[in-house]
Amino acid sequence: MLAEFPLCALAHRLRPDQKTLQFEDRIWDERRGQTIARKLTITGSDAFGLPTALDDEVLLGLIQISKLRGFADRKVPFTRYQLIETLGWRNETKSYRRVEESLNRWTGVTLYFQNAWWNKTRRCWVDEKFHVLDNVWLCHRSDSIWESPDEVTQPPRSAFVWNDVIFRSFQAGNLKGIDFDLFKELKNATAKRMYRFLDKRFFHRNRWEFNLKEFAWEHTGLARSYDSAGLKRKLLSGIRELERAGYLEPMPENERFQRVCSGEWSVVFEKTSSTPPTLAEDTVSSETDSLANSLIERGVTPSTARAIVRNHPADQIKGQIEVFDWLMARKDRKVSRNPPGFLASAIRSQYLPPTDFISRQEQARRKENIAQAKRQSQIQIEKRALREQDAETKRLEAISAFWSAMPPQERERREQEAMAQAPAFQKRLLETKGVLAITTKHAVLSNYALKHLNVENGDSNNRIAINCPSSNHTVK
């Protein structure tokens, strides 16, 4: 019922002496089988006056906070910071002041519904008279931090209490959900008001036609001093914004406003239906759809995701999604308060990531550098092994050639000479039997050959070394 009639003036400021707003219409009541007149009277307090367009946003913000808690209790803990974040306002002193002024107004406002409040249990229109909020208290000390509702230990928090009548209506389901992110994207107060009313009506069908004056005066809240031309001009500014947002089907002015008779006009609205992209749009659409889906998967509403993709570069969106995922993985408090809202705001404001953030591209570059260094190191190790293997092969070939070139008698004499010149511990090993004696003899003969070859070649540093397991000595 809060969408059928305006609850506030469209202006941001009202005359100090204006304390009452009235709206009325006539609808067909199927239960009674007749047309009935509905009327809403809104009165404000002397000190704080009537609600304005900004106060309407605050009221929707309070509903969103209550919705997050499942409308579990009339008393809803909150902080002004949380409400400002929900509304997408700047976190500045001016916003805190606006919130407090708005809460003062809503506490002092009384709504008088005459044949205009829907009783779901009785399924009929009834009279109801109530305040919107019964109580509000603000705890300024904790407004800079919004603790999670799941935490047991919390600092003192602010709270508001819905009036019992309106809260029972919430719990009964008399509340049409809206795309709150789309609502926040709208700049024109008239567009916001029309969106709330039309979105409820579009739930039943996608095309509606209204009497121009009744729609503009009683459901949008335009001043009754405007004539038909003035009403069309004022409505068009909001209609065009809803068309640009992809909510309303675009229409030329002569189809939007149709003359009924002298001095009487009707206004037509049709909700946009989704259509598949043309072939020429396929490439662009696939990328934008992918980006929009990435945002939607992270909690951003479809309309806001489309608006963001439409208005911001793809690289900027991808970069902020990456930072968002990184912050979420770390359970950063800045993100955990309202993840979708943070992501949308970060993209719009080009949020600077923390200094310790490392992008996936940089991580990949560093990983590749490490892998490249490992590959280079392995190449050097393999080259060194090949050089050592080649040198060993040449030594063995030289030793073999040294002994093969000798006549048998000369070779026998040289072998005896080699054995005689061997160190004492090798001589002892030569006296043993088995593999050790054979290995020792091979080493003695090899060293003897290399010694003579090196002398001939002028190199005295080339030696063959073997380990002798029985003596822990190295034979050279």
| 22 closest CA partner among 41, 46, 44, 43 | 41
Inter-CA distances, 468 with 322, 403, 441, 449, Å: 62, 24, 12, 20
* pLDDT tens, residue by residue, 55-64: 999 999 999 8
Query: What is the DSSP-derived secondary structure letter of residue 473?
Result: E
Q: What is the 3-state secondary structure (H, E, C) of 346-371?
A: HHHHCCCCCCCCCCHHHHHHHHHHHH
470, pLDDT greater than 60? no
**Which pLDDT score is estimated for 467?**
39
CA count, 13 A, side-chain hemisphere, 405 = 8
Q: Return the sign of the alpha-carbon dihedral for residues 325, 326, 329, 333.
A: negative
User: Residue 122: pLDDT band by 50, 70, 90 thresholds?
Assistant: confident
* pLDDT tens, residue by residue, 237-288: 999 999 988 899 988 998 999 988 888 999 999 998 754 444 334 434 566 7
> What is the CATH architecture assignment of 177-274?
2-Layer Sandwich (3.30)
* pLDDT tens, residue by residue, 70-97: 888 999 999 888 888 888 888 888 999 9
**Which pLDDT score is estimated for 455?**
63
The Cα 136–Cα 142 span in angstroms is: 15
Beta-carbon contacts of 166 under 8 Å, excluding residues fewer than 6 positions away, are 2, 130, 132
153, pLDDT greater than 50? no
Residue range 30-43: average pLDDT?
Answer: 86
Q: Residue 122 pairs with which residues in a beta bridge?
A: none
User: Residue 177: pLDDT band by 50, 70, 90 thresholds?
Assistant: confident
| 448 closest CA partner among 409, 415, 470, 474 | 415
The Cα 8–Cα 89 span in angstroms is: 20
118, pLDDT greater than 90? no
149, pLDDT greater than 60? no
* Angle between the N-to-C axes of helices 282-297 and 302-311, in degrees from 0 to 180, rounded to the nearest 10: 130
Question: Which phi and psi (to 5°) does residue 181 adopt?
Answer: -65, -40
The Cα 115–Cα 37 span in angstroms is: 7
Of 74-88, 244-258, 289-303, 396-410, which range is least confident? 289-303
The Cα 207–Cα 204 span in angstroms is: 9
473, pLDDT greater than 60? no
CA 401 to chain centre: 76
**Token digits for 414?**
């040289």
User: Residue 103: pLDDT band by 50, 70, 90 thresholds?
Assistant: very high
Of 98-102, 153-157, 175-179, which range is least confident? 153-157
Instruction: Choose between 338 and 321: higher pLDDT.
Output: 321
Would the pTM of this model clear 0.75, i.e. be above it? no
Residue range 324-349: average pLDDT?
Answer: 85
CA angle 340, 344, 345 (to 5 degrees): 115
Residue keyed to tokens 């705001």: 345
